[in-house]
A and B are shown apart, each in its own frame.
Chain A
C-alpha cells in the first residue's frame, strides 16, 4: 500500500521569498513521485517528477524537489516566489498500478 502526506494545508509567503512545500510518502516499492499545480477551476499541471534517476529534480517555473529516501520525503522548493505561483499544489506517489494524491497545499503569495 502507498500513501502520501502533505504536511501543510496552507502556506503563505511574501513575493520574492523562498517557498517550501513539504511532502512525505510511504511505499513498499521504489516509487515514482510527482508534484502537480492546480490553478482555480483548472486541471492539474505537472511541475516535475522523480523516477529513480537524480535525487534533485528540476521542474518548470523554477521549482525543484529533492528525493530523500532515508526521510521518505519529496519536498518542493523555489528560491523566490512570484504572485503567479499562488495555487494548489499536490504531491503524488505512484507504483505498482496504484497512484495516490496528497490532500494538497494551498500557496498564498503576498505582495
Chain B
C-alpha cells in the first residue's frame, strides 16, 4: 500500500545536538511538507517542497533545515538553534501544492521529539 513513513517514532535530543527526522513517501507525490504540532494548537508549517531540489520556508522555519534530493524523501533536521524543539512532528505529501489543485494532504504517523 502507498503511504508516508516517518522514522523514528520517538526521538530524544541532547542539548546542542542536531537530530534528523526521516520522511519517505511512495505515493509519487510532487509536494511534501513538515509540520510541528504542540498541545492545543493546530499544525504549523515548518518547510515545504513543491519539487525536487527546491523548498520554501513556512511559518516557523527558524532552527530547522530540510533537503529534497529525491522525490520520495524529505528529511527534517532540528538544529541546536531550535531552543524549544519538544513537539510532535508530522510529514505530509500531496499530488499538487495547495491552491493549485484540490488535492488533500496525506500524513505520516509522526515523530515525537523530546529533550533529554
Residues on A lying within 8 angstroms of B by beta carbon are 9, 32, 34, 36, 41-46, 49, 51, 90, 94-99, 101-104
Contact = CB atoms under 8 A, between A and B. Distances in A.
Contacts of A49: 102, 104
Nearest to B109: A43
B112 A41 contact: yes
Interface string B99-116: 110101111111010000
Contacts of B107: 36, 43-45
Contact of A101 (B42, B97, B102, B110): B42
A46 B3 CA distance: 13
Interface of B: 4, 6, 40-43, 45, 88, 90, 92, 97-100, 102, 104-110, 112
A90 B42 contact: yes
Nearest to B100: A97
A43 B98 contact: no
A97 B99 contact: yes
Nearest to A95: B99
B99 to A, nearest CB: 4
Given A95-B99, A97-B97, A98-B99, A46 B43 contact: no
Contact of B104 (A34, A95, A103, A104): A34
8 contacts: A32-B102, A41-B88, A42-B109, A43-B90, A94-B98, A97-B97, A97-B100, A101-B43
A103 B45 CA distance: 13
